[in-house]
A = this chain, B = another copy of it.
Amino acid sequence: MSNVEVKPVKVDDNALSILFRNARTQNGWLDKPVAVDLLHEVYELFKFGPTSANSSPGRIVFLTTDEARARLLPSLSPQNVEKTRTAPVVAIVAYDIEFYEKLPKLFPHADARSWFASNEALAQETAFRNSTLQGAYFMLAARALGLDCGPMSGFDPAKVNAEFFPEGKWKVNFICNLGYGDETKLFPRSPRLDFDEACVVL
């Protein structure tokens, strides 16, 4: 017998519902603000998600004011304007095409900077793949802390980049509204593929 507390190695059923089963892409928002402190808490979780060579190329611009959101609205597809205008926070999930400049800090045990600095195609693919992984970690961390998400790719990336990243170092990947969802604005959940349509066991 031991009196060391053994923590469960699985999350509980309620967490599975919050993260996956009951979580929905929101189309409308309750009038309830999201504190900037909470965005920091979300970051302090999702930063731990794995990326290739710990490259961590994801960057996020959080739009928290009417003024900041107004800069984004002209870049959006029409059906995305109203839900983004009214979202407490809008996250522009982006990547840094020069992410490898941080590798001497992030991956100190090898010269990982040179793997990417000398190979633009590898750097671009790594930035896109890994910032996308980080975008998913970000959304699940936000849900874990009680927020709802509304991700979208219906926007003009060239316009977003010109407005927010004119220096050309960061590039938008996708956009995600954040807040507390108005469940009356939800669409019915769409079907998913069956296991056998999406997976093969060899």
Contact = CB atoms under 8 A, between A and B. Distances in A.
Contacts of A153: 52, 126, 129
Contacts of A73: none
A113 to B, nearest CB: 14
Contacts of A11: 11, 14-15, 18-19, 144-145
A198 B56 contact: yes
Contacts of A134: 136
> What bracket does the count of chain A residues touching chain B fall in?
35 or more
Give the one of A25, A134, A200 with max B CB within 10 A: A200
B7 A14 contact: yes
Nearest to A192: B47
Interface in A31-63: 36, 39-40, 43-50, 52, 54, 56, 58-63
Give the one of A10, A151, A174 with max B CB within 10 A: A10
A22 to B, nearest CB: 9
Contact of A10 (B64, B102, B144): B144
B12 A129 contact: no
A72 B188 CA distance: 41
A198 B43 contact: yes
A4 interface: no
A33 to B, nearest CB: 14
B199 A146 contact: no
Give the one of A49, A128, A139 with max B CB within 10 A: A49
Contacts of A40: 195
Contact of A132 (B25, B61, B129, B193): B129
Contacts of A200: 59-62
14 contacts: A11-B15, A11-B18, A11-B145, A19-B140, A20-B141, A43-B198, A49-B140, A56-B193, A68-B202, A102-B197, A108-B190, A126-B153, A132-B136, A133-B133
